[in-house]
Amino acid sequence: MQPLITFVYVSIALTALWAVAFRKRQRYRYPPGPKGLPVVGNILDIPVGYGWYTYKDWARQYDSDIIHLQSLGMHIVVVNSAKAAKDLFDKRHGIYSDKELTSMLLEVTGPYRNWSLMQYGDYWREHRRLFHQHFRPLAVPQYHPKRAKATPDPETTSYRMFARSLILDTVYAFDVQPHDPRLELVEKAMRAGNEMLEAGIFLVDIFPILRNVPAWFPGAGFKRQAAKWKALVDAMYEVPYSQFKETMNEGSAQPCLALSLLSDADATDMSRLDEIFIALTGTAYAAGSDTTVITTVSFILAMVLNPDMQTFVQEELDKVVGNDRLPVMEDQPSLPRVTAVMHEVMRRYPPLPLATAHRAMFDDEYNGYHIPAGSIVFGNTWAILHDEETYPDPYSFNPKRFLSADGTLRDDVPLPTETFGYGRRICPGRYFAMDTLFLVVSSLLAVFNIEKAVDENGQVIEIREEFTQHIMSAPKPFKACFKPRHPGAESLIRSAVLSDA
């Protein structure tokens, strides 16, 4: 009997939703998109993976910069051109700066911990202002010594551990070694976050009312799963912060983000500020470590597949830096080829090809199309950065597109800033990320030739340019070989790792 009653209720609810959606569709002219089915709309059209390719195809098919899908009362708008992205996210930031926080994310992170998902408003502004103070272009050089010490040694360090340790060092001045429990804690929590993202949409995201059912209720498995993930995510935010405060109370804290935040804090407002600082410090590694790892691995993939580009950059490095030291940040103005490679990696392989979901706070009208309040709005970064007009031959990896004939950086080719997102929510860690990338790219290329690996029979292992399909899109595992370019090359990297330890 129970399934029959459920069926009747669900049918009535769906029919009512469809009737409302149908009436509105008559009244409003939404941006074009696949037609969809009666009642459930585009539920079967929404791409499960690699959505950025599908949305780019639809933009061409419907000859529109913006695409619209609708399902069960939810509107999705995808922005596929740089112009439309600027018009909406930048010029109309008062409408498009909110974030979409699904019910499952709310269950796992709460509304405040991961402030990159926080609603647009004064509380978000307070986080953003404090974060910006410590990661703005003028503040970022204070972290250079930490990064120089953290140049990755491909023989001994995994890039994931490298990025996590670098950020833990920047945020808390923790000098973590492999197998440090804090590193493992961050690793587990990040894995839980990625599992959640890869699981896609949960039933509770479509019917938020399910959040109210108790965890023991049949069908409430998402609650039990959420509770497990939440315990890990809470620990990732809270444990390193409270350990840092102990170090600070003992008087042995070293310069880092947490020390700056706490030293400037108003002691009378500490319980409120503690919550903000936990969010700021935890979100720095939640938002900053996987993105940095993916970009580094994409760079390695690009180098293995494009040996001519590798040689092109190494010629410059040999001339400017030589082979008795590693590059430093001060070398960057003299190394335009390194900078061009970084831009091309960010353009060709954005780690978040659809950035993250923004939410329209009010009704809007664009190019004669209606965008309703509450729409989930994605910038299709991948489509924008593979636009044939802006970046001719967009599927080739060609750093030279950013260089002029005399070898300097061109200023008439747009930089791939969309890799860092849009409008008021653009990544505030981007200056830090670009400096890190500069040191990784320049040091690895100064010291190693990065080549295809060979198997035990001496056969070259061929690799394919394949990426994972979810919101964070990373190269699928591949093998590469790092060959030292000159005697003593490896010891340069190892001495950099040890010199400041």
Positions that interact with ligand HEM (CB under 6 A): 116, 128, 131, 135, 283-284, 287-288, 291-292, 295, 351-352, 355-356, 419-422, 425-429, 432-433
CB closer to ligand HEM, 78 vs 321? 78
Residue 481 annotated as part of some ligand binding site: no
CB closer to ligand HEM, 34 vs 353? 353
Minimum distance between the CB of residue 451 and ligand HEM, rounded to whole angstroms?
A: 24
Minimum distance between the CB of residue 493 and ligand HEM, rounded to whole angstroms?
A: 21
- The amino acid present at 311, given as its one-letter code, is T
Residue 260: Cβ-neighbour burial (10 angstroms; 0-12, 13-18, 19+):
middle
Distance CA 190, CA 406 (A): 44
CB closer to ligand HEM, 401 vs 425? 425
Sign of the torsion angle spanned by Cα atoms 9, 10, 13, 18: negative
Distance CA 448, CA 443 (A): 8
Minimum distance between the CB of residue 251 and ligand HEM, rounded to whole angstroms?
A: 27
CB closer to ligand HEM, 284 vs 441? 284
CB closer to ligand HEM, 113 vs 401? 113
* Three-state secondary structure call for residue 70: strand
- The amino acid present at 414, given as its one-letter code, is P
Minimum distance between the CB of residue 146 and ligand HEM, rounded to whole angstroms?
A: 12
Number of C-alpha atoms within 13 angstroms, CB side, residue 418? 28
108 neighbors 189 (Cβ within 8 angstroms): no
Distance CA 435, CA 332 (A): 9
Distance CA 30, CA 18 (A): 16
Distance CA 356, CA 467 (A): 18
Question: Backbone phi, then psi, for 106, in 5-degree steps?
Answer: -60, -40
67 neighbors 78 (Cβ within 8 angstroms): yes
* Three-state secondary structure call for residue 359: strand
CB closer to ligand HEM, 36 vs 288? 288
Question: Backbone phi, then psi, for 407, in 5-degree steps?
Answer: 90, -5
The residue behind tokens 């831009």 is: 343
Minimum distance between the CB of residue 387 and ligand HEM, rounded to whole angstroms?
A: 18
CB closer to ligand HEM, 135 vs 482? 135
* Three-state secondary structure call for residue 491: helix
241-259 burial, b for 16+ CB within 10 Å, e for fewer? Answer: beebeebbeeeebeebbbb
Query: How many of the other CB atoms lie within 10 Å of CB of 173?
Result: 18
Minimum distance between the CB of residue 276 and ligand HEM, rounded to whole angstroms?
A: 13
Minimum distance between the CB of residue 39 and ligand HEM, rounded to whole angstroms?
A: 32
CB closer to ligand HEM, 257 vs 492? 257
CB closer to ligand HEM, 129 vs 224? 129
Nearest Cα to Cα of residue 66 among 57, 74, 78: 78
Minimum distance between the CB of residue 227 and ligand HEM, rounded to whole angstroms?
A: 25
The two most distant CA atoms of the chain are separated, in Å, by 80
CB closer to ligand HEM, 433 vs 493? 433
* Three-state secondary structure call for residue 294: helix
Minimum distance between the CB of residue 400 and ligand HEM, rounded to whole angstroms?
A: 22
Minimum distance between the CB of residue 353 and ligand HEM, rounded to whole angstroms?
A: 9
Minimum distance between the CB of residue 438 and ligand HEM, rounded to whole angstroms?
A: 12
**Rounded-to-10 torsion of CA 231, 234, 237, 240:** -50
Nearest Cα to Cα of residue 25 among 10, 43, 38: 38
CB closer to ligand HEM, 128 vs 348? 128
Nearest Cα to Cα of residue 490 among 15, 48, 87, 154: 154
Sign of the torsion angle spanned by Cα atoms 406, 413, 348, 438: positive
Binding residues: 427
Annotated binding-site residues for heme read: 427
